Amino acid sequence: MGSGIKSPGVIIGAMFVANVGGMTAMVSFPTLVSMFQSAWELNNAQAGWVSGVYFAGYMITVPVLTGLTDRLDPKKIIIASMIGGIISAAAFAHLATGFWSATLWRFVQGVSFAGIYMPLMKALSDTLPESSRSRGAAFISASYATGVSFSYFSTGQLEGIFGWQTAFLMLGLGPLLGVGLTILFLPSNPMSPQREGTFSLDYRAVFSNKRALAYMIAYGVHNGEASIMRAWVVAYFVFAQAGAGALIVNWSPATIATVVTMVGVPLIVVMSELVPKVGRRRLICLSMTASGTLGIVLALSLWGPYWLTFAVVFIYAAALSADSGIINGGIISRSDPAIRGQSMAMHAVFGSGAAFLLPVLFGFVLDIAGGEQSRAAWTWAFGATAVFIAIVPIALITLDREDKG
């Protein structure tokens, strides 16, 4: 296990916190999207683009950085990428002045995160004993939701005290913490015999594994839906609260985004523990069906009292988050160990590609259906998302046929 002195629980816990630190700037722009739309005169499609372009940077870079973990020590890649996260957070704070400059630095932030999340999950799959791998994947998946929530919270709180530029600069302290934890707690993984030979990023063998491909598709759909939530939940509640009158719970939209992102974290771990009893495929299909339905209910709740909207968003967020750990566990269990890094790299490409495109398309539907001030437009946008989610059960049933669960 590299160091020989750190237990799997200690390693998983430290890397949970390190990944949260690496994500402090992830939803910094979506948290303040209404402010930026006003200050920079952005329409909904442009706002969705700046929110989502983070994942374009991630998508372009992650095949190389995660694929390299089949040949290089993931620890070095993670540390270098954390340092990139510090630099890109500072650059956005000082150099972003409008649509194009914000696009550039959000893209660079995504490039930095490409060397953190999936390489970290790959490092744990290499480092942990087999009995702890599924739990490790679940906790790192849960750290993603936790990191998003912390990014909402820290951005909203820091901006309220210091203004957005100083807030964005201070968000770079998160990756700095991640560097320290990675150095101290993640064991180095020296070159193993299976890593010898000429390195090649040839993904034909990855795509020939149809069972693994099913989970890549599922991850893409999951990340696309989650990215819509991250990009638009603040704007959604700005609109919902505007016509609500007196609020039973007087939380700001940023605070709501923080809390709803956290509600699904325990479910991620619970769902992982249920896999042996219920079946991975069945659990994912149930979770996806629930989240697609609840998304439409959330949009329709705008016609009712505000307390209904407030309540439904928590249930929706829990259903949306619940399957991330078991999807990630699926790619680990279905992939060939010799090319697991490349399999996880393509898994991440599917996820980041959908995470980039879906907020933009969601914003486009909002625009053509009447804009973010229209209840009907929100219903159309969430309805289109539900249709997209239906891809997952089809893919799992068609491609993952050997899974009797």
| Residues near 347 by beta carbon (within 8 Å), at least 6 away in sequence | 118, 212, 215, 216, 219, 328, 331
Q: Which of 36, 29, 76 is nearest to 57 (CA)?
A: 29
Per-residue pLDDT, averaged over 376-385, amounts to 92
Distances 195 to 14, 201, 335, 345, 379 between C-alpha atoms, Å: 26, 13, 16, 16, 50
Q: Which comes out higher in pLDDT, residue 20 or 388? A: 20
| Residues near 214 by beta carbon (within 8 Å), at least 6 away in sequence | 330, 334, 395, 396, 398, 399, 400
Total-model pTM: 0.74
In this structure, of 94-103, 137-146, 308-317, the range with the lowest mean pLDDT score is 137-146
What is the Cα–Cα distance from 85 to 111, expressed in whole angstroms?
A: 9
pLDDT classification of 200: cutoffs 50, 70, 90:
low
Query: Per mean pLDDT, which of 175-179, 222-226, 259-263, 362-366 is the most reliable?
Result: 175-179
Mean pLDDT score of the chain: 86
pLDDT the model gives residue 2? 41
Residue 311: half-sphere exposure toward Cβ, Cα within 13 Å: 7
Question: Would the pLDDT of 43 be above 90?
Answer: no
What is the Cα–Cα distance from 332 to 141, expressed in whole angstroms?
A: 13
pLDDT the model gives residue 192? 47
Query: Per mean pLDDT, which of 68-77, 188-197, 335-344 is the most reliable?
Result: 68-77
What is the Cα–Cα distance from 302 to 19, expressed in whole angstroms?
A: 35
Q: Diameter of the chain by CA atoms? A: 67
pLDDT the model gives residue 345? 84
pLDDT classification of 193: cutoffs 50, 70, 90:
very low
What is the Cα–Cα distance from 142 to 157, expressed in whole angstroms?
A: 23
Question: For residue range 264-306, what is the model confidence (pLDDT) as tens digits?
Answer: 888 888 888 888 889 889 999 999 999 989 989 998 998 988 8
Q: Which comes out higher in pLDDT, residue 3 or 313? A: 313
